Amino acid sequence: MKKTALGLLFLISLFFLGACSAASQQSKDNQVKVMTTFYPMYAFTKAVVGDSGQVDLLIPAGTEAHDYEPSAKDLAKISEAGMLVYNSNYFETWIKDVKKNAKDTQTTFVQASQGIQLLDSAQEHEDEADEEEHAHAKVDPHVWLDPVLAQEEVKTIRDALIKKYPKYKATFTKNASAYLAKLAELNQQYVDATKTATNKTFVTQHAAFGYLAHQYGLTQVAISGISPDEEPSPSRLASLKTFVDEHQVKVIYFEENASSKVAQTLAKETGVKLAVLNPLEGLTKKQMQAGEDYLSVMTENLQALKESIQ
């Protein structure tokens, strides 16, 4: 039913767009016009494109990206773009249906996580707090929160842009190199902060930081699952309370764009403080207008993590 609805929406969007003439299609092919799904994909793509083209964000700022479904208007935007950059089929779960119904368009679909070995959530949640809660594995799509894997995504986006728009190869290559250097510097900051840490465990509301934990030898203990809207069972909360008490956890991390009720409850029951750890699934308009970006937020995340990893 869902697939049929998406198919009809896409056909409607194509109808309203009308048929493109050969001249206008050629103009479209030469013009760099890229649609990106959610904030990290926008940040990485914009860094590579720079001022040589238009990069737009499909999922509005501040929207919960896990729950997003494209509207007919969104599908029209995708079909008008020369390229759509998305993270993975496991995060943008609607992408497969959109691609199936976009065969007659000239839009190139780019999966930024292509070639990256994805982890499953069971691997990331094998902690002393609960061994049975996560027996059913889900693929974790949050690769962008690992500065090393973020570099791989930028390279994939760069290569796809060069293939689509070869005229701008030199510009894309130069811009990507500059941004990759910044990501490498960010990675070094995380390496320096974590290599001497004696406590390497942190407790989060949302299981978004598995790749980051894996990269730097940390352990993520999550209250809920891969989606921030997943509610933990009473037994899960009870085991987490015991875990927090026994391991003298000082901070429980929550995120601003999702309900923090469960994290607040656990913090209150255990007497520990709350702090923000941003999964970067969508910056608010206020944050973007204030000049915050992927690099600045990831730096803020590191400062917040330092309260736990000491």
pLDDT tens-place values along the chain, 310 residues long = 555 555 555 555 554 444 443 444 444 556 899 999 999 999 999 999 999 999 999 998 767 777 788 899 999 999 999 999 999 999 999 999 898 877 777 899 999 999 999 998 754 444 444 443 443 358 899 999 999 999 999 999 999 999 999 999 999 999 999 999 999 999 999 999 999 888 899 998 888 999 999 999 999 998 877 666 566 778 877 888 888 888 888 898 988 765 567 777 788 888 888 888 999 988 888 888 899 999 999 999 999 999 998 7
- CA 145 to chain CA mean position, Å: 7
Does the domain spanning 197-305 belong to CATH 3.40.50.1980?
A: yes
Measured CA to CA, the distance from residue 139 to residue 148 in angstroms comes to 19
Q: Which of 37, 35, 34 is CA-nearest to residue 281?
A: 37
Measured CA to CA, the distance from residue 308 to residue 201 in angstroms comes to 7
**Domain 2-129+141-180 superfamily per CATH:** Nitrogenase molybdenum iron protein domain (3.40.50.1980)
Task: For residue 142, give every residue at least 6 positions away whose Cβ sits within 8 Å of its Cβ, in sequence order, or none.
Answer: 91, 208, 209, 210, 211, 226, 279
Task: For residue 200, give every residue at least 6 positions away whose Cβ sits within 8 Å of its Cβ, in sequence order, or none.
Answer: 194, 217, 218, 219, 309
Residue found under tokens 């049975």: 132
Domain ranges within the chain, ordered by starting residue: 2-129+141-180, 197-305
Give the Cα-Cα-Cα angle 115, 121, 125 (nearest 5 degrees).
135
2-129+141-180 and 197-305: identical CATH topology: yes
The maximal CA–CA distance of the chain, rounded, in angstroms, is: 69
pTM of the complete model = 0.84
Check if the beta carbon of residue 238 is closer than 8 Å to that of residue 130: no
